[in-house]
Amino acid sequence: MSSAFPTMPQGSYRGWDQVPAQQDDRELTRTGRGTPAGEYMRRFWQPVALVEEVADLPIPLKILGEELVLFRDGSGKIGLLHRHCSHRGASLEFGIISERGIRCSYHGFQYDIDGSILDTPALPKDNRIKKSLCHGAYPTIEYAGLIFAYFGPPKDMPPFPVLDAFVAPADNEMRAYKLHFPCNWLQVHENGADPMHVPFVHALMSEVQFTKMFGAIPVVDNVETPLGFLSLATRRWGDNLYIRANDVILPNMAQFGTPFVRGEEEKFAVCAGITRWVVPIDDENNWTFGIRHFNSAIDPFNEGRRDLIGPLKTDGFGQTGDRPYSERQRNPGDWDVQMSQGPIAIHANEHLVAHDSGVTLLRRLLRSGIRDHANSRTPPIPAVYPHAGIVPTYVAEIVFAIPPQGTDEDAALQRFGRTVADMLVETQDLPYEERSKEIERRIRALPAEALYV
């Protein structure tokens, strides 16, 4: 047996004297009733369920920390009510759906979808409670396979925003999905404003999850829009430049292209592959609701998988935690890296760098929106409805042939990305078909040498 002493480790071990902060950024992360972010988010239409989930039984759910029950009554109308009966507090998840509204199974109180009391069968017909009491309820809209609800003051209810991505291109087909992330909503939302994660998570660190082209390190930039900002990633792939312009929409929406781009064929898609909402369940869980778009502009080779879209599934790699743990360690996806930041990420422990500019901008714009709403300085939703109530958005996926012209490639990539982003904003008042053609025309007219000044 050897009696030699072990070799003592050498180096800058700093674990003992680096004490992590414990307090999260409550202004941005907390979304319950009465919180600044929660009151702000309640002024926007939020998806709460997939239409296909609502069948013949009530559904208990939690949104923004509120316990609710969702159902479709016998007349086909959707009700979203406070979960606990106003009489004695029994849960309406055990309610009996009626031709009109729902009855509490405890004492038979019947509520309409707007919370009005329709019947109190154990009380005299002329009792006052039907006129004096209204149960908590929220208005809903069914659209594109999703059920949306508005949680704010009825007098301030905005029109439902129909985005251009919902109605164009002409062959656009939409499929809705929802995913569960066991972490704070902001961690998932910020991922869409962080284009630098794409080459590492999806191409370089383990297996190629998108295409090899996404492994090219992009130049990142941000351009503000009337709805939020464009998070830009511009890459070179051979003789082509590729712009992935993610459309970050306040407070909790975003739109993206597809993971199928190879960078070899030119592409001029001014439309979405994904429209996404990150909706808090509570402060440590969220539902990510999405619409996958299938059309010839965004997916010209029809590589999307319609059969993989739905409850707790989508056709993007690594968006759920259902793979074996060891497999997720070897080849982590978005779900893993976002969830692994903790139930609520502590921003004070971060050390942000230059390519985190989208995350920094998102936090700043959210903070501004939250504070402006709290001080009643500005309306929470931009009034941008130029074409028959359609809201123009700015997501785009552009591949264009411009061979390298000089040595300062990063500067050229940034100029190209910023130029295209400006085009997307400048053409927002054009109808979709005209806008798409105009942007392609402008890009083709760009002198390559102008990017390499």
Q: Where are the beta strands (DSSP E) in 74-164?
A: 78-82, 96-97, 102-103, 110-111, 117-119, 137-138, 140-143, 146-149, 162-163
pLDDT of residue 51: 98
One domain for residues 400 and 447? yes
What distance in Å separates the CA atoms of residue 350 and residue 188, rounded to the nearest whole number?
16
H runs (alpha helix) in 1-47: 26-29, 36-41
Q: What is the CATH number of the domain that holds 101?
A: 2.102.10.10
CA nearest neighbour of 82 among 62, 109, 97:
62
- The answer to which of 118-132, 228-242, 303-317, 335-349 has the lowest mean pLDDT is 118-132
Distances in whole angstroms, Cα of residue 204 to Cα of each of 214, 259, 392: 9, 15, 34
Q: What is the CATH number of the domain that holds 392?
A: 3.90.380.10
What's the pTM? 0.94
Show Cβ contacts of residue 125 under 8 Å, excluding neighbours closer than 6 positions. none
One domain for residues 133 and 178? no
One domain for residues 284 and 421? yes
One domain for residues 128 and 170? no
Condensed to tens digits (0 to 9), the pLDDT of residues 435-445 reads 999 999 999 99
Condensed to tens digits (0 to 9), the pLDDT of residues 326-343 reads 999 999 999 999 999 999
- Does residue 3 lie in a domain region? no
- Does residue 173 lie in a domain region? yes
The dihedral through the CA atoms of 47, 53, 55, 58 has a sign that is negative
What distance in Å separates the CA atoms of residue 34 and residue 47, rounded to the nearest whole number?
20
- Does residue 33 lie in a domain region? no
What distance in Å separates the CA atoms of residue 219 and residue 221, rounded to the nearest whole number?
7
One domain for residues 173 and 114? no
Which of 156, 173, 193 is where one domain is finished? 156
pLDDT average, residue stretch 225-237: 96
One domain for residues 152 and 166? no
Number of domains in the chain: 2
> Is pLDDT above 90 for 414?
yes
Query: Do the strands 162-163 and 390-391 form a parallel or antiparallel pair, or are they unpaired?
Result: parallel
Condensed to tens digits (0 to 9), the pLDDT of residues 292-301 reads 999 999 999 9
The whole-chain average pLDDT of the chain stands at 94
Condensed to tens digits (0 to 9), the pLDDT of residues 13-41 reads 888 888 889 999 999 999 999 999 999 99
Contact call for residues 105 and 115 (beta carbons, < 8 A): no
**Token match 């190629």: residue?**
208
pLDDT bin (cut points 50, 70, 90) of residue 449 is confident
- Does residue 245 lie in a domain region? yes
Condensed to tens digits (0 to 9), the pLDDT of residues 164-184 reads 999 999 999 999 999 999 999
- Does residue 4 lie in a domain region? no
State which amino acid sits at residue 15. G
One domain for residues 213 and 285? yes
> Is pLDDT above 80 for 383?
no
- Does residue 423 lie in a domain region? yes
The dihedral through the CA atoms of 371, 277, 332, 340 has a sign that is positive
Radius of gyration for the alpha carbons in the chain, expressed in angstroms and rounded: 25
**Token match 């360690």: residue?**
329
Neighbouring CB atoms inside 10 A of 104's CB total: 22
> Is pLDDT above 70 for 384?
no
One domain for residues 74 and 191? no
- Does residue 11 lie in a domain region? no
Query: Do the strands 110-111 and 117-119 form a parallel or antiparallel pair, or are they unpaired?
Result: antiparallel
One domain for residues 373 and 334? yes
Which of 156, 183, 200 is where one domain is finished? 156
- Please provide the DSSP assignment of 423-444 as one string: HHHHTTTS-HHHHHHHHHHHHH
pLDDT bin (cut points 50, 70, 90) of residue 50 is very high
One domain for residues 395 and 306? yes
pLDDT of residue 440: 97
pLDDT of residue 114: 97
Which of 156, 173, 189 is where one domain is finished? 156
Structural domain including 256 reads 162-451
pLDDT of residue 381: 61
pLDDT average, residue stretch 85-112: 97
One domain for residues 275 and 403? yes
Question: Could you tell me what percent of the chain has a pLDDT over 90?
Answer: 86
pLDDT bin (cut points 50, 70, 90) of residue 377 is confident
pLDDT of residue 271: 96
One domain for residues 113 and 221? no
- Does residue 12 lie in a domain region? no
